[in-house]
Chains A and B, each alone.
Chain A
């Protein structure tokens, strides 16, 4: 089963390659009420303890395939099913310090059955700590921020 919040504690860890810590990963479940094609995603943004990570620093792994955010935008035939979180891979040489970290993920997506409204950005904007509700933001209506204190142990 998955944790209720969009940002999952389970899966949160630093990432190593060839013995070097190159970044960290966060598992994220969609709390939208239905699964969507990956290409409807407007992108993921991450903020940890006040440090903003740009779009280019984040790749997305789903069911064994890893996508840059530009590649994600083209993945129209890949369904992001609700029972499977995506894994966000965030580049940060040296990774995060162990202990309690305040993590915010911002995610938004297009909604085909609502006419386009002015002022809504085409890409997910920078993450902002906070966000109403335990699942964070207004995910039913196209996305939002989810902030959680997570404990990093490795």
Chain B
């Protein structure tokens, strides 16, 4: 008799061929996995790989979808015989964050096995404005928060963390820059990151261009302190966006403010970067966010030059994952589910998987 999903999770039996369940029961972290390329098994296929950040389903999560519903959706996107990458937001998707129960972690690994999922990136924040808009937390407190997240990420099987520390400045969003103790906080956690096989990646996201003062700050730090890969880069494809997403109904969104708009006055200067700008950065990029805003029914994206982006990643030897992040205007009307599927049809075609 075929086992139901519910029975499986109630522990009736392990699925045949289930992966080992590291990091469960005891609070010991996952052992660093030596001999792995990029933190993935050496047998992993080369080239960019598909994944999804379940942030895409933010408006349904806890309303009409559980974590398991989101993971089940992802299993429909995997190529048979391989796994689909997963990104979660630590303080959205982990029950009782920052202290999930051992039982929840057991279920977590069972679900990963059942739904053909490989955990890739753990999205988390060091909230430097924890107590004040203008005065950041102490470096020591920031390092403690960061270390706790690295350990939890490792315990759940992640090999990358999308680490967001604080920013400051910002008469406009274009002028914001890392907070004063941003790099000190990172330095305090580098050894822990290496020990736990978790790469801390700062996300390069609009409105930050791929060439400019903020990128120079990151690259100066990375190269002078030799932090790659334990502190390195995640590129969010919003930097390549050429125009605003259309509203439901097909009209172009206006440039100012509004629901789900990321479009203050900098919209006039698009794009912030072109795909070739990634070429010198490839050795430092250990995950990408495949940000997207609008998919046609022919499964083409209308605001970001995906064919050119994928070509650069393929031609220049990027072997990591790309985590889908949907930010379309129809997210509040259930648009994320079909949009992510359409994007993965597009990606399969661009990657030669379909």
Which A residues fall within an 8 A CB radius of B?
1-4, 29, 31, 33-37, 39-40, 73-74, 76, 79, 81-83, 110-118, 120, 122, 132-135, 138, 140
**Secondary structure of the A contact surface, majority rule:** loop
Whether B92 lies near A33 (C-beta < 8 A) is: yes
Q: Which residues of B contact A81 (CB under 8 A)?
A: 91, 95-97
Q: How far is the CA of A120 from the CA of B133 in the complex (A)?
A: 10
Q: A112-B126, A112-B128, A115-B167 are in contact. Are A33 and B97 (CB under 8 A)?
A: no
Q: Which of B5-13, B53-61, B310-318, B338-346 contacts A (4 or more CB under 8 A)?
A: B53-61
Whether A115 lies near B97 (C-beta < 8 A) is: no
Whether A3 lies near B164 (C-beta < 8 A) is: no
Whether B127 lies near A36 (C-beta < 8 A) is: yes
Q: A33-B55, A110-B129 are in contact. Are A4 and B166 (CB under 8 A)?
A: no
Most buried by B among A1, A29, A39, A112: A112
Does B259 interact with chain A (Cβ within 8 Å)?
yes
Q: How far is the CA of A1 from the CA of B60 in the complex (A)?
A: 10
Does B168 interact with chain A (Cβ within 8 Å)?
yes
Q: A33-B58, A35-B92, A115-B173 are in contact. Are A79 and B260 (CB under 8 A)?
A: no
Q: Which residues of B contact A138 (CB under 8 A)?
A: 257-259
**How many residues of chain B have a CB within 8 Å of chain A?**
44
Q: How far is the CA of A112 from the CA of B134 in the complex (A)?
A: 10
Which B residues fall within an 8 A CB radius of A?
55, 58-59, 61-64, 89-92, 95-98, 123, 125-131, 133-134, 164-173, 175-177, 179, 257-260, 332
Nearest CB in chain A to that of B130: its residue: A76
Nearest CB in chain A to that of B128: its residue: A112
Partner of B130, one of A35, A40, A133, A134: A40
**A–B Cβ pairs within 8 angstroms, 9 of them:** A2-B62, A33-B58, A34-B90, A34-B92, A36-B91, A112-B179, A113-B165, A116-B133, A117-B171
Q: How far is the CA of A33 from the CA of B171 in the complex (A)?
A: 25
Nearest CB in chain A to that of B333: its residue: A134
Q: How far is the CA of A91 from the CA of B99 in the complex (A)?
A: 34
Whether B61 lies near A82 (C-beta < 8 A) is: yes
Most buried by A among B63, B134, B169: B63
Q: Which residues of A contact B166 (CB under 8 A)?
A: 112-113
Q: Which residues of A contact B91 (CB under 8 A)?
A: 34-36, 79, 81-82
Whether A113 lies near B167 (C-beta < 8 A) is: yes
Q: How far is the CA of A115 from the CA of B134 in the complex (A)?
A: 10
Whether B131 lies near A39 (C-beta < 8 A) is: yes
Q: A1-B64, A35-B91, A134-B332 are in contact. Are A115 and B126 (CB under 8 A)?
A: no
Whether B171 lies near A118 (C-beta < 8 A) is: yes
**Chain A min CB distance to B113 (Å):** 24
Q: Which residues of A contact B97 (CB under 8 A)?
A: 35, 79, 81
Q: Which residues of A contact B128 (CB under 8 A)?
A: 112
**Chain A min CB distance to B180 (Å):** 12
Nearest CB in chain B to that of A29: its residue: B62
Q: Which residues of A contact B134 (CB under 8 A)?
A: 116
Partner of B63, one of A4, A35, A73, A117: A4
